[in-house]
Amino acid sequence: MPAELNHLDYYRLPWNYADNGISWLEPTTDCNLRCEGCYRDPHGHGHKTLEEVRADLEVFKKLRKSDCMSIAGGDPLVYPQIIELVSMIKDMGWKPIINTNGLALDEKLLWKLKNAGVYGFTFHIDTSQKRPKVTAATEIELNELRLHYAKMLAKVGGIACSFNATISDKTVHEIPEMVRWAQDHADIVHTVVFILFRSPSLTGNFDFYANGEKIEVQDTYKEAEWGGERTLMAPDIVEKIREADPMYEPAAYLNGTANPDSFKWLLGNRIVFNGKTMGYVSPRFMELVQTFDHLFTGTYLAYADPKSVSRGKLAAFFIGLVDKQMRKIFFNILKASLFNPLKFFLPAYIQSFMIIQPVNFEPDGRQDMCDSCPDITVHDGKLMWSCRLEEVKNFGAFVQTVPVK
Ligand code: SF4
């Protein structure tokens, strides 16, 4: 049974088209892996020159504020000038975040990236990938690989560590174990994101049009058996996370462009102390963080550094002065250190579990996209949804859906 959630109970992130937490840069379409359900053609346009990438960044500078710049692709670590690019992004005022499958990363490269100013990594690891020398057949078996990267980042230090996994009908049952694993490593695993798999056959019965012409989308969006037979929605995932942690409660969201009550981005932040969940932060906590960050830095916060996420106790104390849910978390921490007051000095970590529910199609053909898309990218000098860029490249326009009569 999917969880019953009311969007009005949560904080609607203030992110918008022009002023957002995140922007999305693609310096390359090349990749050293092939994930099922990947929406980018790996044999596409290859690497952009550094000057072309700078031009994309200038478009962002002109049109949109954001806290961080996700460097994606393709895989950005196969981009030959990745070090120069990271330092260019930092110099232009964004936190550089590398979205990678991790395959090309070793400690030597990590040090170079850190010295260039990398702020965080989001590793995309899941069973939709066929990794050389990795025999894992389940998401749970992949936890060892996830831990390898989390430990590598922790050893170098000072870098935010997130993991993405695309989740399909066939892997959704593994979420509770993935959550338990992440919870056991809250000191070095800062964020886990579950991205729900989409493919044309799961969308419903539609004809597809671009520029007024009927088109076929099968070559653009390859079907994958891995995707299963059911379209997953955010409440399905909340239910699964709660199997591992019944306290799980989201605090903030982005709604859909067709439905104000759909959860396109749904975020819950756990405060963990001495290995145990003390509670999940309140919507008001999220509101205060976003408001104050914007007030003092001029942008909405998307990525926090590892030092800040180890200050959960301080956050619970100060925001607890004005918020009941955070006060409760602070008292839970006090209770947990009652019989051993020295424990009180242990850090309390803030760990995020997030769900991304990409496009859904309404029966009347309307498309429910993420309102205030954070992963918007630049194409031909314009801002466009990165998840559907291939449509523009292949058909010259975003695809429209019309119910089959
Ligand atoms: S609209 Fe597409 S690109 Fe934008 S955040 Fe949603 S899934 Fe990502």
Q: Using the predicted structure, report yes or no on whether residue 105 has a pLDDT greater than 90.
A: yes
Cα→Cα distances 34→42, 58, 389, Å: 8, 30, 17
Q: Which atom of ligand 1 is nearest to the CA of 369?
A: 1
CA–CA dist 370, 271 (Å, integer)? 27
More confident site: 221 or 236: 236
Domains of the chain plus CATH, in order, are 19-403 (3.20.20)
Query: What was the pLDDT predicted at 41?
Result: 73
Residue ID of nearest Cα to ligand 1 atom 1:
370
Q: 9 C-alpha to center of ligand 1: Å?
A: 23
Residue 43 pLDDT class (50, 70, 90 cuts): low
pLDDT tens-digit readout, 297-331: 999 999 999 999 999 999 999 999 999 999 999 99
More confident site: 138 or 221: 138
Q: Under a CB-based contact definition with an 8 Å cutoff, are residues 151 and 145 in contact?
A: no
Cα→Cα distances 323→192, 285, 326, Å: 26, 8, 6
pLDDT tens-digit readout, 13-25: 999 999 999 999 9
The residue whose two tokens read 């309307």 is: 366
Task: Judge if the beta carbon of residue 369 lies within 6 A of ligand 1.
Answer: yes
Task: Judge if the beta carbon of residue 386 lies within 6 A of ligand 1.
Answer: yes
Query: What was the pLDDT predicted at 293?
Result: 97
Residue 42 pLDDT class (50, 70, 90 cuts): low
Percent of the chain with pLDDT over 70: 99
Query: What was the pLDDT predicted at 193?
Result: 98
- SS3 label, residue 59: helix
Pocket of ligand 1, candidates 373, 383, 384, 390: which has the most ligand atoms within 8 Å of its Cβ, to mutate?
Answer: 373
Q: Using the predicted structure, report yes or no on whether residue 268 has a pLDDT greater than 90.
A: yes
Residue ID of nearest Cα to ligand 1 atom 7:
358
In DSSP notation, 339-373 reads S-GGGGGS-EEEEEEEEE---EE-TTS-EE-BTT-
Residue ID of nearest Cα to ligand 1 atom 2:
387
Task: Judge if the beta carbon of residue 24 lies within 6 A of ligand 1.
Answer: no
Pairs from 380-388 (Cβ < 8 Å, separation ≥ 24): 381/55, 381/59, 382/59, 383/17, 383/59, 383/63, 383/64, 386/24, 386/26, 386/72, 387/39, 387/358, 387/359, 388/39, 388/359
Structure tokens at 137: 């057949």
Q: 317 C-alpha to center of ligand 1: Å?
A: 35
Pairs from 276-280 (Cβ < 8 Å, separation ≥ 24): 276/336, 277/183, 277/245, 277/247, 278/312, 278/316, 278/329, 278/332, 278/333, 278/336, 278/348, 279/247, 279/325, 279/328, 279/329, 279/332, 280/247, 280/248, 280/249, 280/250, 280/251
Task: Judge if the beta carbon of residue 387 lies within 6 A of ligand 1.
Answer: yes
Residue ID of nearest Cα to ligand 1 atom 6:
370
pLDDT tens-digit readout, 358-398: 999 999 999 999 999 999 999 999 999 999 999 999 999 99
Q: 374 C-alpha to center of ligand 1: Å?
A: 7
DSSP β-bridge partners for residue 382: 379
pLDDT tens-digit readout, 153-196: 999 999 999 999 999 999 999 999 999 999 999 999 999 999 99
CA–CA dist 353, 250 (Å, integer)? 8
Structure tokens at 338: 């009652």
Query: What was the pLDDT predicted at 224?
Result: 79
Query: What was the pLDDT predicted at 300?
Result: 98
